Amino acid sequence: MNVIPKQRFVQKYHLKALGGLLLFILLIWWSARVTEVDFGLFFVNFDQFLALLQKMSHPDWQYLSLVIAPLVETIKMALIGTSIGTLLAIPFSVLAARNIINNDFARGLIRLILNLIRTLPDLMLAALFVAIVGIGSLAGVLTLAVFSFGMIAKLFYEAIETIDDGPLEALQAAGATKMQMIHFAVLPQVFNHFISYFLYTFEINVRASTVLGYLGAGGIGVYLQRSLSQFAYDQTAVIILGILAVVLVIDGISNTLRERLL
Amino acid sequence: MIDMTRRDQPGLKQRQQRWLFWGILIVMIYIWSFSGLEFTGIKASAGEVTRSIIAGIFHPDWQYVYDGSGEDLISLIIQTLAMAFLGTFISAILSIPFAFWAARTGQTKLHLRSSSGKFVLILIRTFPEIVLAIMFIKAVGPGSFAGVLAVSIHSIGMLGKLFSESIENIDAGPSEALISSGANRSQVLTFATLPTVLPEFMSYTLYRFEIAVRSASILGMVGAGGIGTPLLFALQTRAWSRVGIILLGIIITVTLTDYCSGMIRRRLV
């Protein structure tokens, strides 16, 4: 009875774990070769990097008065972009929810489109929209609208799928149409979640919108790009501190509102 | 009893007033945000360019996929993936001390060490990644190494936060058991804390890798290597079929990495 369980050879010497580790180290080594990593180079030019940091640590406070208007513009861009994205996302999220639409094919198609939209990074969308509509805040608003559309639609349909089915069934039993069901059973249950997700996406968009201008899509990013290309790192520091302040304030407001909602 | 429940619920009039207040506030915010924002008109060529981009996606420049020069789609996407992989790996290691710095332990309300750590992490998170990339380009020259450094520093902001939260939410049982049997602090760390948090750390790192693939693909736009550089170049020279193939390449790469990492993460936690 009391037999010590035998370990197979592979188990005894942890060959699986060792093999995995070896593969991992090989991957790291290979990535370092592909990306031409050379930490020596970093330390050779370290004084240049330090000089840059030193310049950044003495922000040019005079520049602050110029920065406030584009920072406000950035917030406006984020708000309008998020709102447009949300308005577009609501019908799609209803169509993608499992408990409302029974057609597997239609739902799968919509989810596939949403997934594809979410693969595109924000700056890439900005580059595309600048090419389409030209330089200016409109490109930024469109970028943020598409960017938040993909994210909000996913958050929304997941929220809709977690609702209590009782009211839905009761309405269906009473002979309600699909629109009536959505109005009286779905919306009251998800409304607070929707507002909360909207605010959350708005926070993310405020962060994203601060760099979109780098490619010409309006807002503070335009100034960021200008100061960097002029090597005016003391101005860059002011802009980054301004972005930090805005992000902290917006996060604070949005967090208090979300806590009150849920 | 009835009175008590009544008192909790605001009266109809009060509720209407509250709705009115929020309604007016929201309308005012929107009026404010639409005012002063200049929409300097859509360029006349907008429709045409959109059509060209869509046509480019459906008629991609297949020649660009692989031509053996090292500047083609496949080699640059592999470079992008390598940037994200190495950057995330370095960042995960750098994040561990930050996580222990920022993690709140004990019950005290004001916690200087943890609060300062959390603030530093917020600072890192809001520092725009492309600015970091440009700073590192100054130090190591344009190329994917600058991208690796930018990814590895920027990711600390998020990974440090997620790691510190998982340290805070750790089950106290194993470490208490070790302390009560006389283990010292380093033993508690190696035998109780690390084994509990390691799977979560790995799962978060994989999640961050998914995000890093996206950001590595745009870092090239400022000259930090990867697929972003040819994309920006193709957009500026209006080579729409080139834009189309690069977009397709990025969409496929991101979808595949998301899928693979999601599968591994499901097995981890």
Cβ contact, residue pair B215, A79, below 8 Å:
no
- Tell me if A94 sits within 8 A of A100, measured CB to CB: yes
- Tell me if A87 sits within 8 A of A145, measured CB to CB: no
Domain harbouring A177, CATH code: 1.10.3720.10
Cβ contact, residue pair A34, B148, below 8 Å:
no
Picking from B45, B115, B136, B145 by the largest number of A CB atoms within 10 A of its own CB, the best residue to mutate is B145
Whether residue A175 has pLDDT greater than 60: yes
Nearest CA-CA distance, residue A231 and chain B, Å: 10
Which ranges in B35-184 belong to alpha helices (H)? Answer: 46-58, 73-102, 112-126, 129-140, 144-168, 173-180
Whether residue A157 has pLDDT greater than 60: yes
Cα dihedral across residues B222, B226, B228, B231: positive or negative = positive
- Please give the backbone phi and psi of residue A35, each rounded to the nearest 5 degrees, phi first: -90, 5
Total domains present in chain A: 1
By C-alpha distance, the chain B residue nearest A245 is: B126
- Of A151, A109, A219, which is closest to residue B214 (Cα–Cα)? A151
Nearest CA-CA distance, residue B219 and chain A, Å: 9
Nearest CA-CA distance, residue B77 and chain A, Å: 11
pLDDT in the model for residue A1: 64
Whether residue A57 has pLDDT greater than 50: yes
How do the residues of chain A divide into helix, strand and coil, expressed in percent and rounded to 5? Answer: 80, 0, 20
pLDDT in the model for residue B54: 85
Confidence of residue A27 (pLDDT cuts 50, 70, 90): very high
- Please give the backbone phi and psi of residue B106, each rounded to the nearest 5 degrees, phi first: 80, 180
Query: Chain A to chain B, count of Cβ pairs less than 8 Å apart?
Result: 159
Nearest to A137 among B37, B86, B127 (CB): B37
Residue A251 lies in a domain: yes
Picking from A29, A34, A128, A249 by the largest number of B CB atoms within 10 A of its own CB, the best residue to mutate is A34
B237-252 tens-digit pLDDT: 888 888 889 999 999 9
Chain A residues in contact with B149 by the CB 8 A cut-off are 42
- Tell me if A210 sits within 8 A of A143, measured CB to CB: no
Whether residue A253 has pLDDT greater than 80: yes
Residue A123 lies in a domain: yes
Q: Which residues of A162-184 are buried (b: 16+ CB within 10 A; e: fewer)?
A: ebeeeebeebeeeebeeeebbee
Residue A47 lies in a domain: no
Lowest mean pLDDT among A12-16, A253-257, B247-251: A12-16
Output the CA–CA distances (angstroms, integers) from residue A254 to A114, A147, A155, A202, A258, in the order listed.
25, 19, 17, 8, 6
- Tell me if B221 sits within 8 A of A127, measured CB to CB: yes
What average pLDDT does range A183-198 have in this prediction?
A: 88
Q: Domain range spanning residue A150?
A: 65-261
Residue A162 lies in a domain: yes
Structure tokens at B65: 């996929």
pLDDT in the model for residue B164: 92
Chain A residues in contact with B221 by the CB 8 A cut-off are 123-124, 127, 214-215
Q: What is the mean pLDDT of chain B?
A: 86
Chain B residues in contact with A133 by the CB 8 A cut-off are 42-43, 46
3.50.50.60, 2.60.200.20, 1.10.10.60, 1.10.3720.10: CATH of B52-268: 1.10.3720.10
B118-144 tens-digit pLDDT: 899 989 988 889 889 988 888 888 889
Chain B residues in contact with A132 by the CB 8 A cut-off are 43, 46, 49-50, 53
Q: At what angle do helices A137-161 and A122-133 cross, to 10 degrees?
A: 130
Residue A16 lies in a domain: no
Tell me how far apart the alpha carbons of residues A94 and A185 are, in angstroms, rounded to a whole number. Answer: 13
Structure tokens at A85: 């994205």
pLDDT in the model for residue B1: 44
Q: What is the mean pLDDT of chain A?
A: 88
Cβ contact, residue pair A38, B135, below 8 Å:
no
Question: C-alpha angle with apex A170: A164 to A172, nearest 5 degrees?
Answer: 105
B160-210 tens-digit pLDDT: 999 998 988 888 888 889 889 988 888 888 888 888 888 899 999 999 999
pLDDT in the model for residue B249: 92
By C-alpha distance, the chain B residue nearest A45 is: B139
Picking from A26, A29, A31 by the largest number of B CB atoms within 10 A of its own CB, the best residue to mutate is A31
Cβ contact, residue pair B123, A244, below 8 Å:
yes
Tell me how far apart the alpha carbons of residues A144 and A80 are, in angstroms, rounded to a whole number. Answer: 9
Where along chain B do its domains lie? 2-34, 52-268
Cβ contact, residue pair A215, B221, below 8 Å:
yes
pLDDT in the model for residue B151: 94
Residue A24 lies in a domain: no
pLDDT in the model for residue B107: 61
pLDDT in the model for residue B39: 65
Residue A53 lies in a domain: no
For the residues of B65-101, what is the DSSP string, one character each? S--SSS-SHHHHHHHHHHHHHHHHHHHHHHHHHHHHH
- Tell me the Ramachandran region of residue B141: left when phi exceeds 0, alpha when psi lies from -120 to 50, beta otherwise: left
Q: So what's the ipTM on this one?
A: 0.83
- Tell me if A138 sits within 8 A of A77, measured CB to CB: no
One-letter amino acid identity for A98?
R
- Of A121, A83, A242, which is closest to residue B37 (Cα–Cα)? A83
B196-209 tens-digit pLDDT: 888 899 999 999 99
Tell me how far apart the alpha carbons of residues B25 and A132 are, in angstroms, rounded to a whole number. Answer: 34
Residue A50 lies in a domain: no
B78-92 tens-digit pLDDT: 999 999 999 999 999
Chain B residues in contact with A28 by the CB 8 A cut-off are 85-86, 89
Q: Which residues of B69-95 are buried (b: 16+ CB within 10 A; e: fewer)?
A: eeebbebbbbbbbbbbbbbbbbbbebb
pLDDT in the model for residue A151: 92
Nearest CA-CA distance, residue A173 and chain B, Å: 30
